[in-house]
Structure 1
Amino acid sequence: MVRTRLTRLLGIRHPIIQGGMQWVSRAELVAAVSNAGALGILTALTHASPEGLVREIQKTRELTDQPFGVNITILPTLQPVPYEEYVQATIEAGVKIVETAGRNPEPFLPALKQAGVRVIHKCTSVRHAVKAERIGCDVVSIDGFECAGHPGEDDVPGLVLIPRTDDSVTIPIVASGGFADGRGLAAALALGADGINMGTRFLATREAPIHERIKKILVEADERQTTLILRSLKNTARVFRNRVAEEVLKLEEQGAGIQDIGPLVSGKRGERVWSQGDPEAGIWAAGLVVGLIADVPTVAELVERIVRDAESIIGEKLPGLLSIADR
């Protein structure tokens, strides 16, 4: 069994975290991940109100007695979001692990820390990871250029970003972006991470609450079928390349602003992709890791395979590369 600072800190068996995915990270998937020994993460803003989040937390507890967390992504929005209320609802529901992303979580840390909550902050740069440690976060999740969703504006891939982060912070590190199998887990550990975060790979599992057509598309896709949008607005996002994404890119080339682009990238349109199985209904996040997805296993099968393969690489393959003289 692979044990790291991350597994010990969070009380999980395997150093794997399921990414917080809007509309997708619901009780069924989250509980399956936690039951498999990894860490499932609910997404707070999937729910229209803090009360809705609490109901999802309760539903998750009915499906698992293992640790799970809540993702609270703090972003600028056209409509004000009561972030403080989501944080308080999470605390009052007794959740002990929170993943924050987007803006600086410092205003929410005193309440979370007082409640004994472990805080994982998702970053896309070394400088932000350093600040996350300085303000008191317990874990930093570092997103490389390969990731789905928002990779930041620096375009640094994980092969460089993970060891740079390891050189710069002392708290546990979660490597995120481009991970799908045991090779990735072994590589992340070798680069200095204490575990991995996977979003896109968990979409192609039986428990993922998305349409089967989308799972089939993920299996058939390769690593060339994502694109970066919203670069002109300095809010870069990696999404699956479809007609909507191409339209957004065309508008950006023409100098369009958020007023014209906004309706195309609305979350409600993206939700229809997952629920209705129409890959052209809106934009939907997908990482370069789509090129490594070849099947739709159960969550338990996937986690077991990843850990088994990583252990084999670490314990058998890599030592076998050393000559007898070297030993």
Structure 2
Amino acid sequence: MRNNIQAIFALVLLLTVSLFAQNMCIELCTTCQNNTDQTCQKVENSCHCTALLDSINAVQANKDEAIAKEKPVEEKSIEEAPVNKSQDTRIVSAQNNNFGSTSNEVTPNNLEIRSKKKSSNYLGFTLAYESPKSYDYYGSNLIDYGSDSEFGLNAGFVFRHYLNRFISFNSGINVVYHTGDYGISQRAKEYNFSIASLGFNTIMAEIPLGFRFGIPLGSSPISLFISANFHIRKPIYQWLELDVLDYWWYDDSYDDVAASSDWEFIHLLGLGIELTRHFSLEVQWFAGNFRAYKDGVEQAYENGNSWHLKMEAAF
């Protein structure tokens, strides 16, 4: 089951990256359409902007032609009707006399300024893959046998607010699937289980809170950034399986809704690249974390050895 989930996620990630690359080329080609500097020449060579923009323009021309053919006869008659210039002149003159002192005139300059103003709020989605290294698991000391495995898949929505071209904040909500398989040391009666494995699967809800400091690369639409993030996770449902190799009669399995007292808190530091505020790719490392549960508080993951790869698209 775990291999199937990894394969499905890899396919979804591949399709998403392909769409991400295509949209990135469209953004870059549009920006460099009338520019011939060295950076734009590299964009032309990588994205084949001439062919890409020609195909987009051809599709748009076909759409415009189809819309023109579907115009009602009445609309065409209105457009083609003769205009009485003297009457129009009188109307405009009267309007200028009555309202010229109080109206806000819309000029080409005003339109240009409004069109260049960027939105400061963006809503989008995120996909992430993480490779955590568990330290403890609800009071059980985990042992690394070399064949242990653990990973997580995240998907959700993000809301990002930009204060300016350098600073932004984000929040959102994610669903996290987390699975792992570790060796443990368990004692029951007179036996010491030196060889046993604990497999666990957990579904969690997550609220990520983040801060970014951007480093724009000149006038290009590309910006590097560093980030500080704090994730709050609430386990929802858990599956556990204990496999005692030498004493199979102690094998056990369990699944149930997670306790209301179970929470995880993770601090991450990140480094990434952003394109026109719409697309970003970021690598984050666990810098601190703890898990709270009914029997106490413990360190959930190894800091430094646990990392998180996130892709974000917002519009």
TM-score bucket (shorter structure)? under 0.3
**TM-score, normalized by length of structure 2?**
0.24
| Higher RCO (CA-CA < 8 Å; seq separation 6+) | 1
Q: Which structure's residues are more often strand, by fraction? A: 2
Q: Which structure's residues are more often helix, by fraction? A: 1
- Mark the structure with the bigger radius of gyration: 2
**TM-score, normalized by length of structure 1?**
0.23
